[in-house]
Structure 1
Amino acid sequence: MYVDDDTTTDTTDTTEDTTDYSDDSSATTGDDELTVEIDGEEYTAEENVDIDADGQNDAAVVETEDGYLAFADTDGDGTADVAVEYDADGNPIAGAEYDATTGEWTEEDVETLPTPTGDGADDADGSGTDSTDTTDSTDTTDTTSTDGESMTVDLPGEDVDAGPATYDTDGDGDNDTSVVTDADGTTYAFTDTDGDNEADQAVIIEADGDVTVAEHTGEDEWTTTEEGHIDSSGEYVPDSGASSSDAVWAER
């Protein structure tokens, strides 16, 4: 499996860098440490990426020799149980799920992997409770409101079909986010926040690591709320002064 000893070295190095970064940004992004178990050894990585654009980091992205690894904790116990491997262009190429009973990572289809709930905080009672209740009492396959319905993205001049939502970013049992990657290696995560199958938020990660967060603010209009980049250590770093309420994200 691609979660191997070589990646372990990168994870350890990145942890040192992300700890430094958290000193500067934890007040606004809600960073938490994530435990990653690989080959019987425990490592820590700082949650440094906000997947669902709610202002709270919920995944740890670390750089490898060939690209990036994204780790997430989907059950609120502080230990990574999902990993997605990206190539140097930002394309997802493999997924894995951690089995705590065996201590092994097993390869899984990226589209079938569970997703983190809430802000990913290890000690947040609200997000932990929501995750547990949803898992124990409800089959998320049955409660997913989109259930295969495609999400529409209102771009300038045209509406684009982003496909069905495949990720539940807020932990309510309903898939709300569709992730697509274009031919240039740019990854788009579109989120429907009100259940009408129309995208309300977007996170764009370009192949060179540039990141744009935008909200749908009117017909054919997207307003940039934050810009940043993934640096050489795999951290998400907001660009100083990049966010502007009147910066419109046009069709890409």
Structure 2
Amino acid sequence: MYYLGAGVLFLLYFATNSIAKVILRLRDGEVLRRDLAAPTGGLAEAYRTVDAWARERGFQAAGLTMLLAYPELAESPGVERFREYMAAWVDREQQRMLVIQHFRGKTFYHFITLYQRQGQEGTLMVNTTNQPNEFFMPQPPGHYVQAFPGKTLDELLVRHEQAERWFEAQTNGQRLVAKRPLDELERISRERAAYVTGLPLWKPRLLWWQLVKGLSLNKPVQQLYG
């Protein structure tokens, strides 16, 4: 039992230490990013499906990128399992983005709407996703996120429109369209990482956040932030 307990503790320490390293690299802009001209690898099939859905609903393709949190592995034979792919579409009429996140054969969706409060600097964000690990670390102030694992694009869009209406009723925010969506996504990620690393004892708390992340799933923004 002692060896089993020690092994579990070691695995937990290794996992949280690895996550901490990625968060620091996100914060410091050290994640390797390479924008792509066309979808490659496992992203290609998922991209075609989502692209057809998006174009039917007024979205326009706005870029593809590959991210690697471990740049030192860029030339290693097994690097593909560490690569994360993202693609973005923009609905300029409704002023919202659709983003897909593809990692290790799984694809997740995000509907993102950006806002700016009149007379104030900075942006606010409403994000609706089916990513089950979205709450693996806290969201900074101004990030309103709701996650519904297993939901389709159509189901997520309905929930996102509900979140937009609730948010706009609570604030005087004006919708924004990102001129460079991929750059905006990078900014959002760095902002979140900077917030987390500024919290007291953030590294030891990573394990706790992992344990409680499921408590925020399948709850609308008005329940989480109202």
Work out whether the TM-score is over 0.5. Answer: no
- Whichever structure has more strand as a proportion of its residues is 1
- Whichever structure has more helix as a proportion of its residues is 2
Greater relative CO, 1 or 2 (CA 8 Å, sep 6+): 2
What is the TM-score with the length of structure 1 in the denominator?
0.29
* Higher alpha-carbon Rg: 2
What is the TM-score with the length of structure 2 in the denominator?
0.32
